[in-house]
Structure 1
Amino acid sequence: MFRKLHEPLTEAITIYVDGAPVAAEPGESVAAVLLRQKEAWSRTTPVTQSRRAPYCLMGVCFDCLAKVDGVASVQTCLTMVAPGMRIERQQGKRSLSA
């Protein structure tokens, strides 16, 4: 659905989305990477389990929440990629550990 309009200015880095390696450009948001995937959603809602994708891309709507490097409910539109980063699509309600 989405694609880059330019060639990367720097060498791509590898991040992992649900365990699969994905190329990303340094300086882009995790949400931008998720939007380029075949399945562009980042989380499911707690009650109906409907899929949600990044929407506002400025930290207001919270539809871009995902688990990033083991931390749940991270706003991916405000999080920049880093080499080796692990993103998991968030399924349903967040679980809190003691």
Structure 2
Amino acid sequence: MTPRFVRLAETARPPVRLLIDGHPVQALAGDTLMVAVLNNVRHLRESEFGDGKRAGFCLMGACQDCWVWTVDGKRLRACTTVVAEGMHIVTTQPEATWANLA
């Protein structure tokens, strides 16, 4: 799928490997999770309220539209969390996934 963001500058920073929804992707050191996700896919997450795909809104940690989760369920703001080597992020709220299994 075509990414939403396209990197135009700062391409010489060291690469950082992480997983997004189980898929290996590469970001650059200093990127936020939002930049990493949107450099690889078209949307940041699915809304837990059923109103569609989200791509963030305020880009500064105030609106709470950019929540993503670690595989163990910890919630992170994608616009203010810097990527780290080996992170595994999921873009669907874990509780929503568990509810669908019942």
The TM-score, its normalising length taken from structure 1, stands at 0.79
Pick closer, same or farther for the CA change 1:78–1:62 going to 2, 3 Å: same
Q: Which runs of 5+ in 1 are unaligned?
A: none
- CA contact 2:43–2:53 (8 Å) conserved in 1: no
Name which of structure 1's ranges 67-76 and 13-22 shifts more when overlaid on structure 2: 67-76
- The structure that is helix-richer by fraction is 2
Q: Among the aligned pairs, what percent are the same residue? A: 29
Q: CA RMSD in A?
A: 2.2
**TM-score normalised to structure 2 length:** 0.77
Correspondence 1:67-78 to 2 at 5 A: 67-78=69-80
Could you list the per-position Cα deviations for residues 3-38 of structure 1 after superposition, in whole angstroms to 9, with x for gaps in the alignment? 111252222111110011111101110011111223
Q: Matches of residues 17-36 of structure 1 in structure 2 within 5 Å?
A: 17-36=20-39
Q: How many residues align?
A: 94
1:9–1:38 distance in 2 versus 1, CA, 3 Å: same
Alignment of structure 1 residues 28-67 onto 2, 5 Å: 28-46=31-49, 48=50, 50-67=52-69
Give the gaps of 5 or more residues in structure 2. Answer: 98-102
Aligned residues of 1:72 and 1:90 also touching (Cα < 8 A): no
* Aligned mates of 1:16, 1:71 — CA distance in 2: 15
**What CA distance in whole angstroms lies between the structure 2 residues aligned with 1:55 and 1:62?**
8
Cα contact 2:69–2:94 (8 A) shared by 1: no
- CA–CA separation in structure 2 for the residues paired with 1:2 and 1:65: 18
Asked if structure 1 preserves the Cα contact closer than 8 Å seen for 2:67 and 2:77, the reply is yes
